Amino acid sequence: MDRIRIKGGRQLKGEIVVSGSKNACLPLMVASLLTDQPLTLKNVPRLADITTMIRLLQQHGVEISATPGENGHSHGTTLTLKAGKIASTTAPYDIVRKMRASVLVLGALLAREGEARVSLPGGCAIGARPVDLHIAGLKAMGAEIDIDRGYIVAKAPEGLKGARYTFPKVSVGATENLIMAAALAKGTTVLDNAAREPEVTDLAECLSKMGVSISGIGTETLTIGGMERLTGTTHTVIPDRIETGTYAMAIAMTAGDVELVGGRLDLVEAAAQSLRAAGVVLKKTNRGIHVGRANGLHGVDVMTEPYPGFPTDLQAQMMALMTRAEGASMITETIFESRFMHVPELARMGANVTVHHESALVRGVPKLRGAEVMATDLRASVSLAIAGLAAEGETTLHRVYHLDRGYERLEEKLAACGAEIERLKG
């Protein structure tokens, strides 16, 4: 397995281009199943999860072509997806197990073909993330669903019907699945307590361009008028807000001075508020966001919440930053259980973190020390990289395949800003 080696103590200076959002792109790719016409997506990042979704959609019969973006990597890849005919309504275990977002094909296949057989999903090991909300919503729309030998088997021989469904708790994936199912359902669907994340909004806006009538975009109540068929369109994927926040924290960790080209402050407002309270300077520029430090780092308390609150996907990175802050910080995780698996690895580097149930008390330390550490999930892996950038000596990060699922060319982007970082093959 590849490893990443980091020699800490170098300030980050220069610019980093923010890639397109992985979490927005995956459901947008699935939306191609809803029409027999081409869907063209611009600003697509080159990531392992994108490759996995391409494989999944191709076995469903989607024809996919890719062309590099402008200036090489700077503006992402352009994907054109055409699902002229659905070749298979089964999403097999060997693909779905690699990525949780694969379950998003359930609603689209069921809406278009009247049936779907989708393996129960995999992905990062960060606690139970059941698909019961997806299933309950589709049942409300008239689907018959059973679980058979590890597969979700769904049928709607007469087609899905518009319905009103209230999510018992906010779920991004379930909201996206039901929006796509509702796009081809008969009648009107109303989704209450829907997720408001920018990635959900991006999907809704793309579907609107494909002919779906959607009102309430960006709010917790979405009203979707189902259509008999959808058209193709061209859509540019939003910048990755998690990558934006991650690099902002890495820059702050090294007392750096970097412009995040393509980053959007409006997508990371909750994280930006916490970072400013900690002594980080973030300013909107003509090209993105400038990140620097006003003075020392100060401990701040953070609680993860659904959007527009502080994102769970930035919790590990914030914890890494707080290990070097003056004073103490309380970080509380309310979205996923088992999302503190990076704590023992940070402790190997000298961090002082005490976990009690869903909260972690972080006491800032004068310095971190380089160590051999192991990634346990996508966001945990990058938190260790952030810690390594500021640690004395050398840090070696193992299991970086987690990192490759969500960060495009991380080593190249950091090295271009002065980090001493390299990938070791095998």
Active site residues: 124
CA–CA separation, 390 and 298 (whole Å): 16
Closest CA to 371 of 351, 356, 388: 388
Question: Are residues 387 and 368 in contact, defined by beta-carbon separation less than 8 angstroms?
Answer: yes
DSSP H/E element including 207? helix 198-209
347 torsion bin: left (phi>0), alpha (psi -120 to 50), beta (else): alpha
Sheet hosting strand 3-7, strand order edge to edge = 372-374, 394-398, 3-7, 420-424
| 125: helix, strand or coil | coil
Q: State phi, psi for 331 to the nearest 5 degrees.
A: -115, 120
Q: Which amino acid is at 120?
A: L
Nearest to 314 by CA among 374, 271, 282, 272: 271
Tokens 């990289």 belong to 385
Q: Which residues of 231-258 are buried (b: 16+ CB within 10 A; e: fewer)?
A: ebbebbbbbbbbbbbbbbbbbbbbbbbb
| Whether 421 contacts 41, CB under 8 Å | no
DSSP codes of every residue in 54-112: HHHHHHTT-EEEEE-BTTBTTT-EEEEEE-SS---SEE-HHHHTT-GGGGGHHHHHHHH
User: How far is it, in rounded angstroms, from Cα 49 to Cα 426?
Assistant: 20
In the 8-state DSSP scheme, what is residue 21?
Answer: P
Output the CA–CA distances (angstroms, integers) from residue 255 to 248, 249, 293, 297, 413, in the order listed.
10, 10, 6, 9, 17
By DSSP bridging, strand 115-119 and strand 90-91 are parallel
Record the tokens describing residue 339, joined without a space: 């999302």
9 — alpha (psi -120 to 50), left (phi > 0) or beta? left
